Structure 1
Amino acid sequence: MSTTATAPPAAGTAPEAPAKGGKKKLIIAALVLLLAGGGGYWFFLKPAGPEPAPEPGEVLVLDPVQINLEGGHYLRIGIALQMTNNVAHAPDGSKALDATIDLFSGLDMADLGKAKERHHLKEELLEHLEHEYHGDVMGVYFTEFVTQ
């Protein structure tokens, strides 16, 4: 078995330096990758700006319906739907009337006399109708609201 030993560098000579440009090439490659990734995100994955608000379209007025309330009372309610201008065909009002009946049936007549409660119920009805009509309804109006 033989071993080879290397002699220590002689005094006055500089140790060998690693190849120059290795770190520079690594930094340049990293910058190119970062720029390419940023450019890809900018063009392909960047979220779009806010969607423009829908513009009002036709107002669909529905015939009033009578709904049974608590304690033998009833509510006669008429509604109108503010549609967006994106509606291609005349919408069917039966979904809106069904949602209105479901929401108001069995409520207390005294609660319906309070403006805050009516406003809350209108907002709840609008949320339900936005879902049912896939965003084509942007407003609900009470055209008739009579309790007895």
Structure 2
Amino acid sequence: MATKTAEKAETTESTESDESVGRLKGILKKAGIGVAVLAVIAGAAWWFVLKPAPPPEPGEILKLDAIQINLAEGHYLRLGLGLQMTSTAHELDGSKALDAAIDLFSGRELEYLQQNVRRAELKEKLMHRLEESYHGDVMEVYFTEFVTQ
């Protein structure tokens, strides 16, 4: 009789063990399906919402008249600008660009402006200011005139 009780106990334990494993497998399947669904949702969100916009199409170039800017030690800079507008930009006013250029170049040392690396840095800073001022309507800035004396 003790043998039958021991066999029943082993059978009960193995049945409970099999049920636990079955429940665990079910939970893991559901978790795997949940992760897959979340991955699909995240991918769709990126594709439709977060995907970066294509670069804007170039439009007209607004050429601004050259201006003279006072530099340090009695020197001056004659600077002409061209603003590459996006195709969606319409009739930009160049006064913001001229103001930014005057602010950026005024009082600079002549030797500083004669270095190509420094001139490129200033052009990049000017472009950053134009992006802020024109809210993305200007794609690029060109120096059409750059004469120092």
- TM-score band by shorter chain is 0.7 to 0.9
Q: Quote the Cα distance in structure 1 between the aligned partners of 2:72 and 2:98.
A: 19
Kindly state the Cα deviation for residue 50 of structure 1 after the two structures are TM-superposed. Answer: 4.2
Q: Are the structure 2 counterparts of residues 45 and 126 from structure 1 closer, same or farther at C-alpha, using a change threshold of 3 Å?
A: closer
Over alpha carbons, which structure has the higher Rg? 1
> Match of 1:130?
131
> Match of 2:84?
82
Q: Quote the Cα distance in structure 2 between the aligned partners of 1:9 and 1:62.
A: 102
Q: Are the structure 2 counterparts of residues 100 and 29 from structure 1 closer, same or farther at C-alpha, using a change threshold of 3 Å?
A: same
- Kindly indicate whether the alpha-carbon contact (under 8 Å) linking 1:9 and 1:15 is maintained by their aligned counterparts in 2: no
Query: Is 1:37 the equivalent of 2:70?
Result: no
Provide Cα deviations, 1:98-139, integer angstroms capped at 9, x if missing partner: 000001100112222232322222122112212221222121
The SS at the match of 2:124 is helix
Q: Which amino acid aligns with 1:27?
A: L
Q: TM-score scaled by structure 2?
A: 0.79
- Kindly indicate whether the alpha-carbon contact (under 8 Å) linking 1:65 and 1:76 is maintained by their aligned counterparts in 2: yes
Q: Quote the Cα distance in structure 1 between the aligned partners of 2:11 and 2:45.
A: 50
Q: Are the structure 2 counterparts of residues 94 and 10 from structure 1 closer, same or farther at C-alpha, using a change threshold of 3 Å?
A: same
The SS at the match of 1:31 is helix
Q: Which amino acid aligns with 1:86?
A: T
* Percent identity between the two aligned chains: 48
How many pairs are equivalent?
141
Q: Are the structure 2 counterparts of residues 10 and 70 from structure 1 closer, same or farther at C-alpha, using a change threshold of 3 Å?
A: same
The SS at the match of 2:91 is coil
Query: Is 1:15 the equivalent of 2:11?
Result: yes
Provide Cα deviations, 1:57-105, integer angstroms capped at 9, x if missing partner: 1100111111111112221211111112121x21111110000000110
The SS at the match of 1:63 is strand
- Deviating above 6 A after TM superposition, structure 1's stretches of 4 or more consecutive aligned residues are none
Say what the alpha-carbon RMSD is for the aligned residues: 2.4
Q: Which amino acid aligns with 1:64?
A: A
Q: TM-score scaled by structure 1?
A: 0.80
